[in-house]
């Protein structure tokens, strides 16, 4: 079993470069630590799904929680899962369509098929409610 964390945080005014840099760092660090996941940024909040060994996620969350680029981390869900939802991504960037009408369909196409229904619903609500 591996652990899966889902949290949101607040970052009101990050540049595109800031977000790119977080993704680059994640892609550099996560494979060696057996961490996979996805990251969404809607211009105001992050939502991140992290999966891996519990000890790795605890130490990663400690680093992430001290990162000055965001505040107000709120853990939405923490659970043990039988298989990864994002096995192929060190950190998948999930993009949010500009047009509200297109957001749901674009997300459906982008989200990993292995995501459980509850997590999928939380992520979809995060994307649509903006
Ligand atoms: C929203 C958010 C998500 C992040 N996700 C990760 C991650 O998945 N992996 C990671 O190594 N760092 C992540 N970071 C960056 C860490 O907070 C920290 O800056 C980084 O791990 C330091 O790595 P370095 O010592 O290699 O520079 C994230 C930061 C933010 C703000």
Q: Is the CB of 36 under 6 A from ligand 1?
A: no
Alpha-carbon distance 105 to 61, whole Å? 31
Sorting pLDDT into bands at 50, 70 and 90, what band is 59? very high
CA nearest ligand 1 atom 10, residue: 26
Cβ of 26 less than 6 Å from ligand 1: yes
pLDDT at residue 38, as a whole number: 97
Name which residue sits closest to atom 21 of ligand 1, judged by CA: 63
DSSP code of 107? Answer: H
pLDDT at residue number 35: 98
Q: Name the pTM for this structure.
A: 0.96
The Å distance, Cα 22 to ligand 1 centre, comes to: 6
Nearest residue (CA) to ligand 1, atom 13 = 26
CATH 3.30.70.100 fits 2-128, yes or no: yes
Model pLDDT, residue 129: 82
Distances (CA, A) of 47 to 1, 15, 39, 41, 72: 23, 16, 6, 7, 12
Question: Residue 130 has what pLDDT?
Answer: 67
**CA-CA distance, 4 to 84, in Å (whole number)?**
8
**b/e map 37-67, b = 16+ CB within 10 Å:** bbbbbeeebbbbbbbbeeebbeebbeebeee
pLDDT tens-place string over residues 6-29? 999 999 989 999 999 999 999 999
CA angle 35, 25, 46 (to 5 degrees): 75
Helices (H), the chain: 16-33, 54-65, 100-110, 117-128
Q: How far is the CA of 7 from the centre of ligand 1 (A)?
A: 14
**What pLDDT shows up at residue 92?**
95
CA of 101 to the centre of ligand 1 (A): 32
Map tokens 């996620």 to a residue: 57
pLDDT digits (tens, 9 = 90+) for 66-120: 999 999 999 999 999 999 999 999 999 998 988 888 998 999 888 999 999 999 9
């Amino acid at each position: 079993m591996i652990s899966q964390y889902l949290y949101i945080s607040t970052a009101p005014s990050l540049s595109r470069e800031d977000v790119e840099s977080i993704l680059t760092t994640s892609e550099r660090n996560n494979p060696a630590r057996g961490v996979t996941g996805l990251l969404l940024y809607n211009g105001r909040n992050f939502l991140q799904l992290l999966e891996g060994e519990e000890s790795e996620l605890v130490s990663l969350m400690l680093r992430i929680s001290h990162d000055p680029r965001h505040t107000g981390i709120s853990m939405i869900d923490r659970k043990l899962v039988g298989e990864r939802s994002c096995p192929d991504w060190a950190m998948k960037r999930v993009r949010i369509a500009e047009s509200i009408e297109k957001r749901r369909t674009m997300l459906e196409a982008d989200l990993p098929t292995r995501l459980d229904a509850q997590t999928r619903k939380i992520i979809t609500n995060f994307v649509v409610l903006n």
